[in-house]
Structure 1
Amino acid sequence: MKFKSTRILAVAGIALAAPLAMAATAQSADPYLWLENIHGKRALAAVDAWNAKTMKALTANPQYEKDREQALKIMNDPAQIATPAQVLGQSVTNLWQDTGHTHGLWREADLASFEAGKPEWQTLIDLDALSKQEGQKWVWHGADCLPPADNRCLVALSPGGSDADIVREWDRSTKSFVKDGFTIPLAKSNSTWENADTLLIGTDWGAGSMTTSGYPRVVKRWKRGTPLADAKTVMEGKTTDVSVTPLTIVDNDGTAYHFINRGITFYTGENWIEGADGNFVKTPIPETANLSGVQDGRLIVSLKKPLGDIPAGSIVGWNIADVLAGKADAPKVVFAPSNTQAVKSIATTDHAIWINLLDNVAGKLLKLTADGNGGWTQHVAQLPGNATIDLDTADKKSDTIFATVQSFLTPPTLYAVSANGSAKVLQSLPAQFDATGMKVEQHFATSKDGTKIPYFMVRKAGAPKPGAALIHAYGGFDLPQLPSYLTTEPYRAGPVAMWWVQQGQTYVLANIRGGGEYGPRWHDAALRQNRQKAYDDLYAVAQDLISRGLTTKGKIAVSGRSNGGLMAGVAVTERPDLFGAAIIGSPLLDMKRYSHLLAGASWMAEYGNPDVPADWAFMRKYSPYQNIRKDVKYPPVFLYSSTEDDRVHPGHARKFAAKLMADGDPVFFHEYRFGGHSVGGDHSEDAVRAALIHAYLDRVLIDGNKTAP
């Protein structure tokens, strides 16, 4: 359903004493393991003390309150894009959040009114009212509605924003939860409709039913009116798999195809399709490829590795009837990108395949239609160039795609792209800042191995040189980093980039390897033992800025979240001479322990297995937590995370902070109690974080105050 040394040390007034009582292993040498106790009284007391010191130091900045108010105003601006989530028959749905609806309204509008740019919204679920009524802080995780009527929906609600959620059956026609309807208890579940009275579910069925990564490994078929415990097993994966997930894709003739994906690793898996007898047939899709959709009786698949003479990054198709009959031949090529291109995402409508393409990191939308001779005709949609395109959803029947387009200096605009490729503006946000004099440039830095690394730079014309620079990057999991409007750059930091550029400094988005900016080859170049290449790319970008006279060593901040938080931690520990500040969000930092914490085991295909000596040999070289040295003076860092992050363990940030502080290095630390991996449960918390980050950057890089909070 969802694509989803025992040393006594005083730190912030909290005694960090002996390690946890545990077996005499190599891991017991870590004196801060107790900080991995997520809700432990001692750990939370330390967190509260660190939070308080950070808040006291940074809120003292005279600009803080003004920043917080402005950030909140921007985030709650009613003139936001009403992003379409799904087209259900003749209706379109949307999740709306503003000052009066911090949790959000799940609502719908008539499709015709939406396409006319004048949607008439009706509320389906008021999440704020529901949260108040049920005494739970519900966070929206989406809805899966049963075709063709789309009236019965499986609604996923997360308590506090964790990845785990509760699934409840909802009737869209009565706008109410179904009495005695399907309900899946709190877990990291995936579910889909098989028919009106049957679900395919992967969830926590009890002892032994989850993978070591913490996701379901058993999919069962659950019949309406029977206890969940009586659901019958359909497919069972291995404990070492990442997950086993059911999903449904509806073709243009209304046929609903049911699939089960057995995720063997983060990047490999098997795809099975349900036959007429209810049994599942293994498809010929390579384990390294992704099922991207169904169109006119074809499986539409994205290749991550070459398949015979077909290059990696290509889109191919298999005839479903042949697959079910067990006689599938080699696939037909639908699209093959050039060396400068990468397929970002795919959407299928009744008569077309839409490809969101990157070309030297610039967005382009292609429409592909079958030419009747086994080939495909390409049409380029009439959208602005040199921008970022996001495919929101589609009206399959009319072959209309809804896409949001934006750039650093151009606010988001929602388009409806019709079957003939013409684009109509449905909604365009007003400018939230004066971009006069601001300039965007794309440059290429030369990395250590000679590879050219693209990066975008935003600054005011005539701004003093050298100044301070803020570099945001990610570099992992095949995820490209693309320009967005400055009020939302960098990720989860609100208008920090806007403030930074307005005050005459330089903001940079670096497209380092590990991401998907140039397709599989760009990602594969920084996998496992080659991880250092991503970090070398970052340093090359920083050095290029210095060479251009825009900044100097020690006046550069690095920013990253999640895998990007790992990158920022590596940057600080490897190059404290180069970076003067680091914004480290929801990070992985202890790479010796990561695979034993929450969902960490699912990422071993990306990083390696630290329990395998050969893997740890290369991981040990960059793991930030293990590479903190007492004889090195590190720049002040800003760590932010969430107690309820059930994806990346908050212990990473906590332990990294404690170890740095133990050696007298300055640390600004802020851990939210709610919000999950995205951090912050609502816009008010996001606004606080944005203001704190800006105050931190001003204190450390502009004022030169390197002291601890």
Structure 2
Amino acid sequence: MRSNNYPETKRVDVSEEHFGHTIVDPYRWLENDVRSDEDVAEWVDAQNALTQRYLATLSGRDIFRERLAILLNYEQLTPPIKRGGRYFFTKNEGGDNQHSLWMRDDDGKDRIVIDPNDWSDDSADALGEWAASDDGRLLAFSVQSGGTDWRTIRVLDVDAGKMFDDQVHWARFTAIVWMADGSGFFYSRYPAPAEGTRATASVSNHAIYFHALGTSQADDRLVYSGRDKPAVLHIVDRTRDGRYLLVYATPGAGVNALAIIDLARDAWAPRNLIENFDAEWTVIGNRGDLLYLQTNEGAERRKIVTLDLALGKAEPVQLVAEDDAVLTNAALLGERLLTTYLVDAKTEIRRFALDGTPDGTVALAGIGSAGGFEGSEDDNEAFFVFSSFDTPMTVFRHDVAANRSEVWAEPNAPQMLRQISVSQRFYKSKDGTSIPISIVSHVDVTGPAPTLLYGYGGFGISMVPYYNPSQMAWVEQGGVLAIANIRGGGEYGRAWHMAGQFEKRQNSYDDFAAAGDFLKAEGITSANGLVIQGESNGGLLVGAVVNQRPDLFAAALPSVGVMDMVRYHRFSGGALWMSDFGSPDEERHFHALLSYSPYHNIRAGLDYPAILATTADTDDRVVPGHTFKYVAALQAADLGSTPKLVRVETRAGHGAGMPLDKVIALYADMWAIAAHWTGLEVDQNESDEIEF
């Protein structure tokens, strides 16, 4: 089958003036919701049909699909949360479309508590946030439908196995926090969106409410809101003793204000401890009125401090000083502070006494990442997880007093993991900055091989070693996986993050391009063997770098990417990202945003790599219109003969909650096109190729 034409995409006459620039936006109509706009739906159907016809010519797709189904078919557990002598955890027994919620009782037997796999015919409805009451008898949990960020919260009587009538709607970006007596729970929500605007509703007026069990949501008590700062998120937590409610207010990435509410007082009046957005503050535990916190205030790699609430004006007192390594997580467990530090993007667990005195380290199973501490201040039993590129996530039980760990749950690792080579290298970016990069391959790969380069580089999020069976399907076939720790992440603290923030974001793109140059110069990949992938902010990364260095890559896989940096803040949760990107409405940010915006910087006349952009119709975090407009612009430009395609999943969102069968299909399609254009020999018996 042959076709020389993409589906026709109409152009509309839309242009605007921004700070001396005329911005032409001919595909703005593709911003409309695909589920309600017939023209957009027809365009998506035609694009999906073309993409599927093309992918059907790549027989490696079936091999990847088969291997992904096998590699993803293993038992997966999260660290248990202990409530009332019961252990609650999520589990996938292997091959389930969705993780279920399980409980281990005093008798040591595991039983399933909530199974979302039969909630919908397509298994696209998932278990979201959940919390057990302090006595372990009640469970509040959220339902995520079709990948959306919106949540509906329900309540289960664990012993009776019966649902309460309570339903809480319009929760989003929320935790669920019980009152200590089980009388109800706290959560975060937005006002109900106007009819027909659920998918694109702005994120304004996020507030914390209390829902009393057995009452209507209309009677829920407003606990905290920031009406003077409508774009701020409000996240709720609680001290383990049940005394204080914790309110975190944040405009986005890396900074927050902090307030507490004394739940013993009827008024529930908030007391502001940190009122500005200059630093990050996280409560890690308390002993009565003494709070323990981690912060990067005056410590770019974080430190631990205390705040004495008994004092009229609580001032932070340093307990554990900033280190050369980056403090990433801390918890007060038993009579110790357990902390995780990043050393060149690898984890160490360090222990401290409650007075800040060092108390040794926790031995780990190897070089990788660890954390996810679960436990309480008054219990000697704690849990954490460990994972690495060649080690699936393993749950450890830690005896705090004895400083001894034992495996609590360990999945059966696929045999191929014993044949994986992992190394860390360093390379120089454009400005001479040294950047770490992890390289994963099969031990038999000794020369240049098709290489998948993955990156993120934003919001202070670190790329740490962890087991990703989807990526292992690429490695298993003889491909190399490379993960670059570019600036904009948090691998080296706040300064590393800020070096890829706002007007400095170009550093992230230079770092990523330099990683590609390094992989070729070192003979890790061949001249035409490099494919890049990234998701969300990483999709933006891929789109920006392809425009800047189209010669460097054979294929590119931007997923759920932010592609229009001029209008991103106008959709759904986009306004929250201004804390990292900057505001398009401010001239000092606008010029930088426009300089790398993937949609606006496509360079006609150059040969571009093959591109498969992926998104989903229910993504209300990065709306699919970003990807639709970007692909329409790619297809309209003269960019050579490689395909420029889009794959749009149905009943799926930004990634969380996607059922396993759709995950398998998605990665099989991405790896098939990557293998074809990089020369990875999965299967040479390919059908007639569609021409572009």
| Structures share fold, TM-score greater than 0.5 | yes
Per-residue CA deviations over 1:636-686 (Å, capped at 9, x if unaligned) read: 111111111111111111111111011254213211112211167311111
Match of 1:283 among 268, 273, 279: 273
- With over 3 angstroms needed to count, the CA separation of the structure-2 counterparts of 1:107 and 1:15, relative to structure 1, is same
Find the aligned partners of 1:11 and 1:47 in 2 and give their Cα distance: 18
Match of 1:408 among 368, 389, 395: 389
Per-residue CA deviations over 1:117-152 (Å, capped at 9, x if unaligned) read: xxx2112122234446xx9953111212332x1323
Contact 1:588–1:648 under 8 Å retained in 2:
yes
Determine whether 1:125 maps to 2:114.
yes
Determine whether 1:107 maps to 2:69.
no
Contact 2:479–2:680 under 8 Å retained in 1:
no
Residues 611-620 or 255-264, more deviating: 255-264
Determine whether 1:321 maps to 2:349.
no
SS at match of 1:103: coil
Partner of 2:291: 299
Contact 1:241–1:265 under 8 Å retained in 2:
no
Letter in 1 for 2:153: V
Per-residue CA deviations over 1:491-539 (Å, capped at 9, x if unaligned) read: xxx43x3343344332211111111111212111111010011111112
- With over 3 angstroms needed to count, the CA separation of the structure-2 counterparts of 1:519 and 1:579, relative to structure 1, is same
Partner of 2:659: 682
- With over 3 angstroms needed to count, the CA separation of the structure-2 counterparts of 1:205 and 1:542, relative to structure 1, is closer
- With over 3 angstroms needed to count, the CA separation of the structure-2 counterparts of 1:22 and 1:152, relative to structure 1, is farther
TM-score (structure 1 length as normaliser): 0.86
Partner of 2:342: 358
- With over 3 angstroms needed to count, the CA separation of the structure-2 counterparts of 1:450 and 1:295, relative to structure 1, is same
Determine whether 1:19 maps to 2:16.
no
The alpha-carbon deviation at position 32 of structure 1 amounts to: 1.0
Find the aligned partners of 1:226 and 1:431 in 2 and give their Cα distance: 47
Residues 30-39 or 384-393, more deviating: 384-393
Letter in 1 for 2:337: I
Of structures 1 and 2, the one scoring higher in RCO (CA 8 A, sep 6+) is 2
Residues 624-633 or 569-578, more deviating: 624-633
Find the aligned partners of 2:44 and 2:353 in 1 and give their Cα distance: 56
Contact 2:284–2:293 under 8 Å retained in 1:
yes
Partner of 2:439: 457
- With over 3 angstroms needed to count, the CA separation of the structure-2 counterparts of 1:679 and 1:583, relative to structure 1, is farther
The alpha-carbon deviation at position 424 of structure 1 amounts to: 0.8
Find the aligned partners of 2:342 and 2:473 in 1 and give their Cα distance: 28
The alpha-carbon deviation at position 567 of structure 1 amounts to: 0.6
Match of 1:348 among 332, 352, 355: 332
Partner of 1:566: 540
Partner of 1:394: 375
Contact 1:161–1:681 under 8 Å retained in 2:
yes
Partner of 2:465: 483
Contact 1:59–1:695 under 8 Å retained in 2:
no
- With over 3 angstroms needed to count, the CA separation of the structure-2 counterparts of 1:48 and 1:393, relative to structure 1, is farther
Determine whether 1:84 maps to 2:79.
yes
Partner of 2:29: 34
Letter in 2 for 1:255: G
- With over 3 angstroms needed to count, the CA separation of the structure-2 counterparts of 1:145 and 1:335, relative to structure 1, is farther
Residues 254-263 or 29-38, more deviating: 254-263
Partner of 1:256: 243
SS at match of 2:462: coil
Please list, as runs of the form range in 1=range in 2, the aligned pairs for 1:428-577 lying within 5 A after superposition.
428-435=410-417, 438-461=420-443, 463=445, 465-485=447-467, 488=468, 494-495=469-470, 497-577=471-551
Letter in 2 for 1:76: N
Contact 1:76–1:683 under 8 Å retained in 2:
no
Letter in 1 for 2:112: T
- With over 3 angstroms needed to count, the CA separation of the structure-2 counterparts of 1:84 and 1:679, relative to structure 1, is closer
Please list, as runs of the form range in 1=range in 2, the aligned pairs for 1:38-49 lying within 5 A after superposition.
38=33, 39=35, 40-49=37-46
Partner of 1:139: 126
Residues 616-625 or 412-421, more deviating: 412-421
Find the aligned partners of 2:396 and 2:193 in 1 and give their Cα distance: 48
Match of 2:668 among 680, 691, 697: 691
Find the aligned partners of 1:375 and 1:353 in 2 and give their Cα distance: 8
- With over 3 angstroms needed to count, the CA separation of the structure-2 counterparts of 1:216 and 1:101, relative to structure 1, is farther
Find the aligned partners of 1:397 and 1:131 in 2 and give their Cα distance: 41
Contact 2:69–2:95 under 8 Å retained in 1:
no
SS at match of 1:60: coil
Find the aligned partners of 1:679 and 1:202 in 2 and give their Cα distance: 19
Partner of 2:569: 595
- With over 3 angstroms needed to count, the CA separation of the structure-2 counterparts of 1:708 and 1:647, relative to structure 1, is farther
Residues 90-99 or 694-703, more deviating: 90-99
Contact 2:440–2:480 under 8 Å retained in 1:
yes
Q: Which runs of 5+ in 2 are unaligned?
A: none
Contact 2:569–2:577 under 8 Å retained in 1:
yes
Partner of 2:141: 155
Please list, as runs of the form range in 1=range in 2, the aligned pairs for 1:598-609 lying within 5 A after superposition.
598-609=572-583
Partner of 1:3: none
Match of 1:203 among 175, 184, 189: 189
Contact 1:513–1:537 under 8 Å retained in 2:
yes
The alpha-carbon deviation at position 484 of structure 1 amounts to: 2.1
Letter in 2 for 1:235: Y
Aligned identity (percent) is 24
Find the aligned partners of 1:24 and 1:620 in 2 and give their Cα distance: 13
Find the aligned partners of 2:556 and 2:328 in 1 and give their Cα distance: 29
Match of 1:654 among 584, 606, 628: 628
Find the aligned partners of 1:223 and 1:429 in 2 and give their Cα distance: 39
Per-residue CA deviations over 1:578-620 (Å, capped at 9, x if unaligned) read: 1221111111111011111111100101001112122111111
SS at match of 1:646: coil
The alpha-carbon deviation at position 451 of structure 1 amounts to: 1.2
Determine whether 1:612 maps to 2:598.
no
Determine whether 1:176 maps to 2:180.
no
- With over 3 angstroms needed to count, the CA separation of the structure-2 counterparts of 1:67 and 1:576, relative to structure 1, is same
Match of 1:192 among 161, 166, 177: 177
Find the aligned partners of 2:415 and 2:131 in 1 and give their Cα distance: 38
Compute the RMSD of aligned alpha carbons: 3.0
Contact 1:366–1:378 under 8 Å retained in 2:
yes
SS at match of 2:391: coil
Residues 103-112 or 609-618, more deviating: 103-112
Per-residue CA deviations over 1:28-72 (Å, capped at 9, x if unaligned) read: 831111111122222122222222222222233223223212212
Find the aligned partners of 1:512 and 1:23 in 2 and give their Cα distance: 34
Match of 1:702 among 665, 679, 685: 679
TM-score (structure 2 length as normaliser): 0.88
Contact 2:423–2:440 under 8 Å retained in 1:
yes
Find the aligned partners of 2:114 and 2:139 in 1 and give their Cα distance: 12
SS at match of 2:592: helix
